[in-house]
């Protein structure tokens, strides 16, 4: 997975650290982190009991309810679901040990036709549309500065994907974006029509933007 590989290039690898993977989902990336961090403890936390592995080292919980102190707080494509990002980042920062590292990836494709179409269809069907409170890249950088971060970077990167057609974009979003909606047959039919309208042809280019962040607490 390219975004994960890009993110862990910033990882300060040293033995014997305590780390937490927030919003770990199935735990696949938690296991990869464990491979990268020898003789370390890597805890995976997720709020979904259906996704969370029933195994040692995984814990059911919400990101904003984090407890304990860690040398590494890691999150891959999960923090965007938490409201009030400034408060969230201040909370996470308070759980970093001195010298600890914050390493975060946040999807940032909210202005793409695939995302806008989902919100449009939901409104048409009378569904509530959740407004994600992600910040601009500059605002995240300013927030890290205010927290006193050292060696911090915030980078937006476009990950290019060439897919067969618009229907492939719909399949892509089913496991990510569409989990925030009530996906009925009517919703899916209308959503597919919208995406086909905005993304005609075959193949189609699907550029996906993500924010990558690293910061060290003094």
- Identify the domain containing residue 15 by its residue range: 2-216
Give the containing element (helix H, strand E) for 17: none
Inform me whether the pLDDT recorded for 55 exceeds 90.
no
Are the C-beta atoms of residues 95 and 74 closer than 8 Å to each other?
no
CATH number at 8 reads 3.40.50.150
Instruction: Using pLDDT thresholds of 50, 70 and 90, give the confidence band for residue 130.
Output: confident
What tens digit of pLDDT does each residue of 142-156 get?
A: 999 999 999 999 999
Q: What's the total number of domains in the chain?
A: 1
Q: Specify the pLDDT at position 206.
A: 96
CA 168 to chain centroid, in Å, comes to: 21
What tens digit of pLDDT does each residue of 91-116 get?
A: 999 999 999 999 999 999 999 999 99
CB within 8 Å of 69: residues ≥ 6 apart? 18, 95, 96, 97, 100
Q: Which of 99, 74, 89 is nearest to 7 (CA)?
A: 74
What tens digit of pLDDT does each residue of 4-54 get?
A: 999 999 999 988 999 999 999 999 999 999 999 999 999 999 999 999 998
Instruction: Using pLDDT thresholds of 50, 70 and 90, give the confidence band for residue 176.
Output: confident
Are the C-beta atoms of residues 130 and 83 closer than 8 Å to each other?
no
Packed helices 185-198 and 113-124: angle between N→C axes, nearest 10 degrees: 140
Place of tokens 């975060």: 104
Prediction pTM value: 0.94
Distance between CA 13 and CA 11 in Å, rounded?
6
Name the E strands within the chain. 18-22, 41-46, 58-60, 70-76, 96-107, 150-163, 204-216
Inform me whether the pLDDT recorded for 1 exceeds 90.
no
């Amino acid at each position: 997975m390219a975004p994960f590989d890009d993110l862990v290039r910033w990882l300060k690898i040293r033995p014997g650290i305590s780390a937490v993977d927030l919003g770990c989902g199935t735990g696949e990336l938690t296991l990869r982190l464990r491979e990268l961090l020898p003789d370390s403890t890597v805890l995976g936390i997720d709020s979904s009991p259906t996704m969370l592995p029933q195994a040692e080292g995984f814990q059911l919980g919400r990101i904003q309810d984090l407890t304990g102190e860690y040398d590494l707080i890691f999150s891959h494509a999960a923090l965007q679901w938490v409201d009030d990002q400034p408060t969230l980042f201040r909370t996470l920062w308070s759980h970093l040990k001195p010298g600890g590292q914050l390493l975060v990836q946040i999807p940032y494709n909210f202005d793409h036709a695939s995302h806008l179409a989902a919100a449009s269809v939901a409104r048409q069907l009378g569904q509530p549309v959740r407004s994600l409170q992600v910040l601009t890249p500059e605002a995240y950088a300013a927030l890290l500065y205010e927290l006193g971060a050292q060696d911090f970077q915030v980078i937006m990167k476009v990950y290019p994907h060439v897919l067969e057609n618009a229907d492939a974009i719909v399949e892509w979003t089913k496991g990510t974006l569409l989990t925030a909606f009530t996906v009925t047959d009517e919703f899916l039919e209308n959503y597919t029509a919208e995406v086909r309208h905005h993304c005609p042809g075959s193949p189609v280019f699907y550029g996906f933007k993500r924010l990558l962040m690293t910061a060290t607490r003094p």
